[in-house]
Homo-oligomer: A and B are copies of this chain.
């Protein structure tokens, strides 16, 4: 849908489109952004957009990715330290930057646009989730995460609360919140200390 390295005659057009998309989204929001508007802003024919992208979402996603790349996790050896860092950064990003609104809109659109979903998952969220998983694998090897844990679930435990608050906008994001999640996540993930390395649905007696 949006392979940026195809034989394409004019980079000028391509760049102008992504810039225009980013501007439009930040000025009037994703919902009011239109292909027609992007084309006009970019001084480009609509067909030139449709030639390279299949939908508004695809263009905007590309625009986002152009100025935003997924970071790798730090790995200090201490999971809690790294996690706190990442969750604080994540919370900061989600704390109502316009980019947050755009991302929310992308999530909506991808619900009825399989190609867009594919793109978003492959190019944006997938790498991010996998980076997280890699860090957890490392932590698991270092004994800081329970060996029996399904790491896909673990990833959700890390970010799920943030998504919950972000979507529902029930409470504000701040560093305190990131720290609270960090603490709870660490408690959830760390090894149970004693007993069988079997899947133990509920250990529950942690104190002697």
Contact of A162 among B125, B160, B180, B204 (CB under 8 A): B160
Q: Which of A5-13, A48-56, A59-67, A170-178 contacts B (4 or more CB under 8 A)?
A: A170-178
Contacts of A168 in B (CB 8 A): 107, 121, 125
Residue A3 lies at the interface, judged by CB distance under 8 Å to chain B: no
Shortest Cβ distance from A193 into B: residue: B207
Which of B84, B150, B193, B201 is A202 in contact with, Cβ under 8 Å? B84
Tell me the chain A residues, 29-77 only, with Cβ under 8 Å from chain B: 29-32, 76
Interface residues of A toward B: which range?
A: 35 or more
Question: Which candidate, A16-24, A135-143, A183-191, is the interface stretch facing chain B?
Answer: A183-191
**A164 near B156 (CB under 8 angstroms)?**
yes
Whether A195 and B207, one on each chain, are in contact in the complex, defined by CB atoms closer than 8 angstroms, is yes
| Residues of the B chain whose Cβ atoms lie less than 8 Å from the Cβ of A107 | 108, 167-168
In the complex, the chain B residue whose C-beta lies closest to that of A207 is B193
For the complex, is A2 an interface residue (Cβ under 8 Å from B)? no
A198 within 8 A of B: no
CB of A147 closer than 8 Å to a CB of B? no
A170 pairs with B129, CB closer than 8 A: yes
Query: A187's contact among B80, B81, B117, B187, by CB below 8 Å, is which?
Result: B187
A contacts, CB < 8 Å to B: 29-32, 76, 78, 80-81, 84, 101, 104-105, 107-109, 111-112, 117, 121, 125, 129, 149-150, 152-154, 156-157, 159-165, 167-171, 176-177, 179-190, 192-195, 200-207
Name 6 interchain pairs, CB-CB below 8 A, sorted by A: A153-B180, A156-B160, A163-B167, A204-B204, A204-B205, A204-B206
